[in-house]
A and B are shown apart, each in its own frame.
Chain A
Amino acid sequence: MSVECERLGALLSQRRRGELSSEDARELDAHLAGCARCRDEAAGLQAVLAAVELPPVSIQELEALRSRRIGEAPPPVARSSAWS
């Protein structure tokens, strides 16, 4: 698998999230047009990501997190001075 092919997974998942720059998108499409193996990989990856992707974090989740006030209760820590 070439270096170009290896970058594909990252670029495809970025595209799904609308994070791909137009320059990267052009590069990705040009590569896919000429690489059958990557087209197949891409189809598989897209299908898997579509199946496993979670919905965006909801307001309810953020509120539950906020109301927990996790940062306000630091756990006790055994002191040690052995820093590197």
Chain B
Amino acid sequence: MTLVGPRAPSDEALVRAHLDGDRAAFGALVQRHQRLVLALVRRYARTPEESADLVQQSFLRAFTAAGRVFPRMRLSEEGAFRAWLLRVAVNVGKNHARDGRRWRLEPVESLDLRAAESSGMTERLEAEQHRRLVRAALDALTRRQREVFALRVDGELPFADVARVLGITENNAKVHFHHAVRRLRERLGGEVER
């Protein structure tokens, strides 16, 4: 199946084929979108395997709801499936972070810092501490701000695309991004001035 070029089937055509029992259609959709889904969820994973888990979960969750969601979706509208999948991926990442709060909040200070220094682990500890601060700051954003920020920064989507995915205007997406940046700057304080 050709996935690129003018003769490539649209996502929506592939979704229809999948629902009609074409097993290759699902694979084609995965192949087309898995890199972007990975970009959206990897922030919330500790290991490459966990990232792959979250990508898998995103596709499975998006398709498990297919019977309920796809018929209502305007599949004649280009981009409808992609928008749905990316919204699912952003939420899978966020939910994973929320569910993992217990381990994430395990204090770095509880580790043996002297041992860490002597074995050259200080930089790693600092990096981990930084990662936690960033996550906490992202957690403090409103849902919409987080979605816009993730799609724009992690997904590298243009604002027009971010707006299409979230069903908001482009201007609205820019405003949410602007507020998200301002809030992150406040929350991260000295971390962003380094």
Contacts and interface: CB of A to CB of B under 8 A. Distances in A.
Chain B interface size, under 10 / 10 to 19 / 20 to 34 / 35 or more: 35 or more
A10 B157 CA distance: 10
Interface of B: 16, 18-19, 23, 25-31, 34-35, 38-39, 42-43, 47-49, 51-53, 55-56, 59-60, 63-64, 66-68, 70-76, 130, 134, 137-138, 152-154, 156, 158-159, 171, 174, 177-178, 181-182, 184-185, 188, 191-194
Nearest to A45: B181
Interface of A: 6, 9-10, 13, 17, 41, 44-45, 47-54, 57-58, 60-61, 63-65, 67-68, 70-72, 74-75, 77-84
Contacts of B38: 57, 61, 65
A51 B39 contact: no
Given A78-B67, A83-B75, A52 B27 contact: no
Contacts of B34: 65, 70-71
B52 A65 contact: yes
Contact of A9 (B51, B63, B154, B181): B181
A75 B49 CA distance: 20
Given A57-B39, A64-B51, A9 B188 contact: no
Given A77-B18, A77-B67, A70 B56 contact: yes
Contacts of A84: 71-76
A36 B2 CA distance: 50
A58 B75 CA distance: 34
15 contacts: A10-B158, A17-B156, A50-B192, A54-B154, A57-B39, A61-B38, A64-B48, A65-B55, A67-B52, A74-B26, A75-B26, A80-B19, A80-B67, A82-B71, A84-B73
Contacts of A51: 130, 134, 184, 188, 191-192, 194
Contacts of A41: 178
